[in-house]
Structure formats: C-alpha cells, structure tokens
Amino acid sequence: MKIQEKLFGAYQDESVIEYTLVNDSGMSVSCLNYGCIITKIMVPDRNGIVENVVLGFENFEDYLDLSPYFGSVVGRVAGRINHSKFELDGKVYQVTPNEGPNHLHGGKKGFNSVIWKTEPVEGENAIGLKFFYHSPDGEEGYPGNLDTSVTYLLNNQNELSISYEARSDQKTIVNLTNHSYFNLSGNIKRDCSDHILQLESERFLELGEDLIPTGRMIDADNTPFDFKHGRLLKAGMKSSHPQNVLAGNGYDHPLVFSKKGENIVALSEKESGRTLLVTTDQPCVVLYTSNTLEGPFSISGVRARNYLGVCLETQGLPDAINQPDFPTIVLNPEEVYKAKTNYRFFSNTIGV
C-alpha cells in the first residue's frame, strides 16, 4: 500500500495537491486538498478491468468553474437551509444565500471550495489522509469557530472509510457529507439509469417546489421510493409520481433509514458486475440522480448529460434546524460532532 502525490493546480497562491491512495487489491482513490474532492476511484469490474467509478475532472480549473460539488465534502451544513435563516436560543442567524433565497451546501464559501491542511495517516491495515479546516466564527454567517477534520482510509478489502469530526466554541449547526457522483459502469460508459439500489427505508421526505423538505414524511410503500427489495433507478426517472417530476424526473430526496444505528445501502450495475456497499451511522441518505447535469461541458471526455451519476449523500436530515420534528443537527461547545460512512466495492451483482 502506498500514497502518491502530484501537483494538480493552484488556488489563491496555494498548491492544490492530488493524493492517490493505492491498496494491494487493485483499487486506488485519488483526492485533492481542495475541498477534500475525490477525483477518481479506480476499481476492477467482474473481468478485472480497473476503471474510474466516480465523476470528476482532469483539470483543476474545471472544478472552479463547472463542478456541481463533484466528489467534495460539503458543509458546514449539507443540503438547503430554507430562506438562509435559522434560530438558536432565540437569536436568528442569516447565512449566505447561494441558490435563490436559500442556502445550499455551506454557501458561497463552503467546505467544498477551501484548501484543507493535509497529513498522511495509517490505520489498521489501511493507509489514508487526514484533512483539517478551521472555519472562523461568522464564516458564511454561521456562529462559532469550527474546527473540522475529515479522514479518508483505504484498506485491502477495497473499502474506503470517511470519518468526520468537528468541534465549536459556540452553539452552532453541523451536517457534513461527501458529494461523490458514482457510476459503476466504469469510465462513464453508460449512465446510471440501470443501476440497482437497495436499502431499508420505509419513508422519504416530501420536497416543496424549492426542493426543501416540507417537514412531511411520506410512506414509500408502492411508490418509486421503495427500495427494500432493490429497484432500478430509471423507475424514478420515468415515473409520473409528483415528487419524481418535481425533482426534474428522477430523485433528489432524503430517504430515511428504517432503524437507528448502522445502515447499509447497496448499489450495483449488472453489466460491469460492480457492487458498492455503503455503510453509515447517519439517519438518512439523500439520493440524487443528477437530473440537472446536462450542460455545455465534458466530464473526463464525456459530454455532460443528465443521469450520468448517482449521489448517495449520507447525512442528517436536510433543513433539520428549521424542522423541530427532525433529529437535531445542533452542536454544543462541549460536544464533538462525529459521523462515519464506509464504501466497499465488490465485483458481483444484487438482484432486482
């Protein structure tokens, strides 16, 4: 196992480094100290052919100009905050609006668009990187000096683990996730419509016209949002369900896990034989099928179009600070925010 590094670009007079973690089983993960962006995940298919299974750019400038959060850590708060406002202990905080009147993925200067301090780390039979970022009190409107660390570890079982920790000197809100777009066909040979998704979730969050949760949880039974027995993603892309149509003919929805504690999400693509098992301690996964990815640019030589990738954003419930019935995302000064998600790749398939 080894860690390689190379210069990838420059940002505000600082070097952008691409690090590549390489295991002994044919898998590698490349990532940047800018935004903790995962640029490539190289894994074998059923025939042993190693290909990239996430969307990313070859040039750093494209991440600045074009990227819809490809591979990045997003925060302080993932998802949307309604009207860019929230209240803590009777005080109303105004965070930066960057999607109409609403705040998305941490604002204009979110964790996806800053340089993180980086150091190599070793785990039990694993190698990795630990990223550090200090977000000063008031950055993007959030209260508290927040110190955040994110650790990427790769082992020889073709498993990448992502661990998050954060501490604040004031009461604040935190909800972190990784925003990788997966495409298990390898090197974007096909879109993700024939990917199969399976997870234990009985409810999903209803979205309003602005894609912010209304606060209502909808029963997933007998809808395109029921993934308990496995479902092709194109079921939602072709669905007339009002929530699928609202999201741009697909999914952009928080799926609430049926139980607390550790939960598993399985994603597979039959033609390549690749399966991804995502294990998380978070209460939901936001399923996004890149319904609005189409644009006048290319992704590693492939013209951008809708449905090229699928995001599995494990996190707390979006806009939880404005929904009293949702699990809290408030972080107190005496507490440590912790979250962990593992991504393990296999060369086999799950059935529908």
The Cα-based distances of 208 to 25, 42, 322 in angstroms read 45, 37, 14
- Strand 91-94 and strand 73-74: the pairing is unpaired
Model pLDDT for residues 286-295, shown as the tens digit of each residue:
999 999 999 9
CB of 158 within 8 A of CB of 1?
no
> Which residue out of 105, 179, 195, 253 is catalytically annotated?
179
User: How many CA atoms within 13 Å lie on the side-chain side of 57?
Assistant: 20
218 pLDDT tier (thresholds 50, 70, 90) = very high
Query: What phi and psi, each to the nearest 5 degrees, are found at residue 112?
Result: -75, -15
- Tell which residue, 181, 255, 175, has the closest CA to residue 220: 255
Check whether 279 has a pLDDT greater than 60.
yes
CATH number at residue 40: 2.70.98.10
The residues, ordered by sequence, that sit 6+ positions from 120 with a Cβ below 8 Å of its Cβ are: 3, 127, 128, 129, 130
Q: Is 179 in the active site? A: yes
pLDDT at 26: 87
Q: Is 253 in the active site? A: no
Q: How far apart are CA 87 and CA 157, in angstroms?
A: 44
Model pLDDT for residues 236-245, shown as the tens digit of each residue:
999 999 999 9
Check whether 351 has a pLDDT greater than 80.
no
- Tell which residue, 136, 152, 167, has the closest CA to residue 72: 152
Query: What phi and psi, each to the nearest 5 degrees, are found at residue 188?
Result: 55, 45
Average pLDDT, integer, range 172-182: 98
- Mean pLDDT for the chain overall: 96
Average pLDDT, integer, range 39-50: 96
351 within some domain: no
Domain range for residue 80? 2-346
pLDDT at 25: 92
31 pLDDT tier (thresholds 50, 70, 90) = very high
pTM for this structure? 0.96
pLDDT at 352: 44
The secondary structure element, H or E, covering residue 308 is none
Other C-beta atoms closer than 10 Å to the C-beta of 101 total 10
User: How many CA atoms within 13 Å lie on the side-chain side of 232?
Assistant: 9
Model pLDDT for residues 284-339, shown as the tens digit of each residue:
999 999 999 999 999 999 999 999 999 999 999 999 999 999 999 999 999 999 99
14 within some domain: yes
65 within some domain: yes
Model pLDDT for residues 102-147, shown as the tens digit of each residue:
999 999 999 999 999 999 998 889 999 999 999 999 999 999 999 9
pLDDT at 197: 98
Number of structural domains, the chain?
A: 1
322 within some domain: yes
- Residue 76: asked if its preceding bond is cis (omega within 30°), the reply is yes
CB of 54 within 8 A of CB of 38?
yes
Please provide the distance, in angstroms rounded to a whole number, between the alpha carbons at the two ends of the chain: 36
- Tell me whether residue 50 is exposed, middle or buried, using C-beta atoms within 10 angstroms of its C-beta: 0 to 12, 13 to 18, 19 or more: middle
Tokens of 232: 């092709």
143 within some domain: yes
Q: What is the DSSP letter of 97?
A: P
352 within some domain: no
Average pLDDT, integer, range 212-217: 97
186 within some domain: yes
- Tell me whether residue 5 is exposed, middle or buried, using C-beta atoms within 10 angstroms of its C-beta: 0 to 12, 13 to 18, 19 or more: middle
Check whether 348 has a pLDDT greater than 80.
no
Average pLDDT, integer, range 40-59: 96
The percent of residues in the chain predicted with pLDDT above 70, rounded, is: 99
CB of 153 within 8 A of CB of 172?
no
29 within some domain: yes
